[in-house]
């Protein structure tokens, strides 16, 4: 049995865990309940009414966060020739072909996103057992297998993040949407972007209620339930002073 620290227990006592909150209220609570000595990440968790084990109910893709992620993103690019130069010019942290494949195969994993040109996927595919479990395997569905590596590097450096429904957790999508140091409007803008994208990505095969529950939390803080019937964030909400 896991034991929660005193600060966590105190945070739980500071709000009603049995009720749901509007998005802005929930995010403000998460900011106020953060209790660690570092800038905690704010996480959005969405439970979907899908069976992610079925091919026609997979929910996966990327979404651009308008307020960014609040953390530096290390990008590795598997490319050669002109594409490699393009990736370097766009600010990729690591660029290589055979040499980078060999480094990763040897255990090097010091990056957050992996991008590959289609030509290199024959070699990168052999790294599936290394990259797959960490969610780093390049995939066309997430825009990480592309001939336009420069744009991909710029997008991910600028706040584009990957999302996917976890097959092990009943179709829960978890996405970082910023830091507790972000203002309320910044977090709301990212929240809206993710919700809009998840709704857009609804599989045709999904039946019944699609978004079952929504919660937000910080790295070390308790989860706060969001009213899943009132997820709309307006431009007026984003104009609030954070």
Residue that has been written with the tokens 């297998």 in this structure: 145
Q: What is the pTM of this model?
A: 0.82
The CATH H-level (homologous superfamily) assignment of domain 75-157 is Ribosomal protein L1/L10, domain II (3.40.50.790)
Residue 78's SS3 state is strand
Residue 171's contacts (CB-CB under 8 Å, 6 or more residues apart) are 47, 48, 49, 50, 51, 52, 57, 59, 165
Domain ranges of the chain: 16-69+159-238, 75-157
pLDDT in tens, 40-93: 999 999 999 999 889 999 999 999 999 999 989 999 999 999 999 999 999 999
Domains 16-69+159-238 and 75-157 share a fold: no
What CA–CA distances, in Å, run from 172 to 23, 29, 85?
A: 18, 22, 38
242: pLDDT confidence band, cut at 50, 70 and 90? very low
Nearest-5° Cα angle at 216, 210 to 219: 135
pLDDT of residue 3: 53
Residue 210's contacts (CB-CB under 8 Å, 6 or more residues apart) are 48, 49, 50, 199, 202
pLDDT in tens, 143-174: 999 999 999 999 999 999 999 998 877 899 99
Is domain 16-69+159-238 in CATH 3.40.980.10, yes or no?
no
pLDDT in tens, 115-128: 999 999 999 999 99
Distance, in Å, from the CA atom of 235 to the CA atom of 210, rounded to the nearest integer, reads: 24
b/e code 13-27 from CB counts within 10 Å (16+ = b): eebeeeebbebbbbb
């Amino acid at each position: 049995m896991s034991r929660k620290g005193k600060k966590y227990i105190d945070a739980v006592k500071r709000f009603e865990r049995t009720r749901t909150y509007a998005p802005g209220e929930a995010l403000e609570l998460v900011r106020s309940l953060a209790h660690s000595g570092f800038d905690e990440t704010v996480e959005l968790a969405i439970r979907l009414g899908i069976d992610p084990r079925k091919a026609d109910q997979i929910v996966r893709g990327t979404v651009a966060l308008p307020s960014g992620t609040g953390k530096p993103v290390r990008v590795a690019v598997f490319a050669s020739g002109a594409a490699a130069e393009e990736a370097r010019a766009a600010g990729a942290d690591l660029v290589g072909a055979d040499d980078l494949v060999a480094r990763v195969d040897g255990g090097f994993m010091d990056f957050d996103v992996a991008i590959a040109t289609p030509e290199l996927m024959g070699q990168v595919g052999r790294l599936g057992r290394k990259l797959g479990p960490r969610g780093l395997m390049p995939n066309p569905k997430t825009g990480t297998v592309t001939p336009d590596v420069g744009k991909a590097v710029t997008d991910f450096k600028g706040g584009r993040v990957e999302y996917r429904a976890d097959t092990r957790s009943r179709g829960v999508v978890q996405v970082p949407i910023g830091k507790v140091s972000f203002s309320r409007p910044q977090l709301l803008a990212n929240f809206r972007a993710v919700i809009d994208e998840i709704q857009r990505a609804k599989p045709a095969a999904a039946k019944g209620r699609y978004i079952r529950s929504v919660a937000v939390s910080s790295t070390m803080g308790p989860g706060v339930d969001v009213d899943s019937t009132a997820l709309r964030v307006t431009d007026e909400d984003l104009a609030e002073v954070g």
